[in-house]
Amino acid sequence: MEFEDEAIVLGARSHGETGAIVHVLTESHGVYAAHIAGGASRRIKPLLQAGSHVAFAYRARHTDQLGAATLEAAGPSPDLFDEPLGLLGLQCACAMTQAVLPERDSQPGAYHALSGLIGLFAFPDIWPAVYVRYEAGLLEALGFGLDLSACAVSGDHDDLIYVSPKSGRAVGRTAGEPYKEKLLRLPGFMLSSQGGLAEGDVVRGLELTGFFLERHVFHPHNKPLPDIRLRLKDSLAS
């Protein structure tokens, strides 16, 4: 099996003394892991940083085998070393993508969304809201998308401020009032990009997506949300 594709590096760990195992999100082939010969070398190591755009050439003898790959820089890497929060967001986005998306399942939408998000990490006013929408997109890619089109009770399209933790559907203000303690808050920016961003909205958005990611992705595997995701929420809350 052989292919070449554009990819975003999600993370890498060293393998042996000179090699590395890299996880990437490719444009057309989904998440792939591969052995990189010489991955510990000075030439390759900078490419193995989370968020790097690379040209990924993969080769394996069998489809069920961990193949080998070569990498070449395909674009500028995000320069976020002086942006503590952006750096945390980048690592979190890559870690969540790797943890959430199944391997070898084509997700071009997720690739383009992550690529766009990486370009925004240098803009602290913008990226947190986009990150929340990215997580909602990951849920959708897995088939657990939130239905925010209309109120699950009344069918109304206006004044949607809650989400049902049971169905993942939006609930309007009036219909949700008696159950508001049990419902999740729906921040306006998740309904449309013109929704506006009020104080605390990003954290509410992270609570919303975190709830469904935990329920559908992490809890079935007896895992908690990754530590970095919790740290990101704490950092954005403070």
Partner 1 sequence: MSGAGPEIERLMALLSKLPGLGPRSARRASLALLKRKDQLLIPLTRAMQDAADKVETCRICGRLSTQNPCPTCADPARDQTMICVVEEDSALWAMERVGAFTGTYHVLGGLLSALDGIRPEDLRLDSLVQRVRSGRVREIIMALPATVEGQTTAHYIADRLKSFDNQVEITFLARGVPVGGELDWLDDNTIAHAFKSRR
Q: Which residues contact 48 (CB under 8 A, 6 or more apart)?
A: 9, 12, 20, 22, 36, 39, 71
CB 152 within 8 A of CB 160: no
Question: CB of 170 within 8 A of CB of 152?
Answer: yes
Least CB distance to partner 1 at residue 128 (A): 16
In the complex, the smallest distance separating the C-beta of residue 10 from partner 1, rounded to whole angstroms, is: 8
- Given a contact cutoff of 8 angstroms between Cβ atoms, the answer to whether 75 and 83 are in contact is no
Minimum distance of partner 1 from residue 80's CB (angstroms): 8
Residue 183 C-beta: closest distance to partner 1, Å? 31
Choose between 3 and 218: whose C-beta lies nearer to partner 1.
218
| Encoded tokens for 11 | 């993370």
Of residues 51 and 176, the one with the C-beta less far from partner 1 = 51
Give the span between the Cα atoms of 21 and 186, in whole angstroms: 39
CB 228, min distance to partner 1, A: 4
Whether 96 contacts 133, CB under 8 Å: no
Nearer to partner 1, 94 or 163 (CB): 94
Shortest reach from residue 135's CB to partner 1, in Å: 15
Dihedral over alpha carbons 36, 42, 44, 48 (to 10 degrees): 90
Nearer to partner 1 (CB atom), residue 94 or residue 146: 94
User: Rounded to an integer, what distance in angstroms lies between the CA atom of residue 79 and that of residue 87?
Assistant: 9
Instruction: Answer yes or no: are the C-beta atoms of 71 and 22 closer than 8 Å.
Output: yes
Site of interaction with partner 1 (CB under 8 A): 10-13, 17, 23, 45-46, 49-51, 73, 76-77, 79-81, 84, 87-88, 90-92, 94-95, 98, 226-228, 231, 235
Taking the least distance from each CB to partner 1, the nearer of 105 and 227 is 227
Task: Return the number of the residue (76 or 220) whose C-beta is nearest partner 1.
Answer: 76
State residue 73 phi and psi, 5-degree precision. -65, 135
